[in-house]
């Protein structure tokens, strides 16, 4: 948290970082999920647009939660692992 002081009042800057999962789509683009905010699913035509859409969606959800007096969840760092599965022939 940081404080920005302008001529009239002090503004508190709350910066949060959230992990996002970009899933490539078959016909280009990415679907984006935010594990800490499961209500968010968005899409972008490329990685940059997908991340921008995620940023906007996260901001809107957090603003809505704040307006309703809800606590903003902590965003733990997810552990991404690969699992190999062998299918019977």
pLDDT tens for residues 30-52? 999 999 999 999 999 999 999 99
Q: What is the DSSP string of 31-75?
A: EEE-TTSTT-EEEESSHHHHHHHHHHHHHHHHHHHHHTTPPPPP-
Query: What's this model's pTM, rounded to 2 decimal places?
Result: 0.76
At residue 73 the predicted structure's pLDDT band, cuts being 50, 70 and 90, is confident
Give me the domains of the chain, ranges plus CATH numbers: 16-78 (3.30.160.250)
Confidence class for position 78, pLDDT limits 50, 70, 90: confident
* Structure confidence at residue 86 (pLDDT): 96
pLDDT at 2: 47
* Average pLDDT, rounded, for the chain: 87
């Amino acid at each position: 948290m940081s404080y920005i002081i302008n001529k009239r009042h002090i503004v508190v800057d709350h910066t949060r970082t959230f992990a996002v999962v970009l899933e490539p789509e078959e016909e280009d683009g990415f679907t984006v999920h935010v594990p800490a905010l499961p209500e968010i699913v968005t899409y972008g035509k490329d990685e940059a647009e997908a991340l921008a859409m995620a940023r906007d969606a996260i901001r809107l959800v957090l603003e809505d939660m704040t307006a309703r007096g809800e606590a903003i969840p902590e965003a733990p760092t997810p552990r991404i692992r690969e699992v190999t599965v062998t299918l019977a022939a």
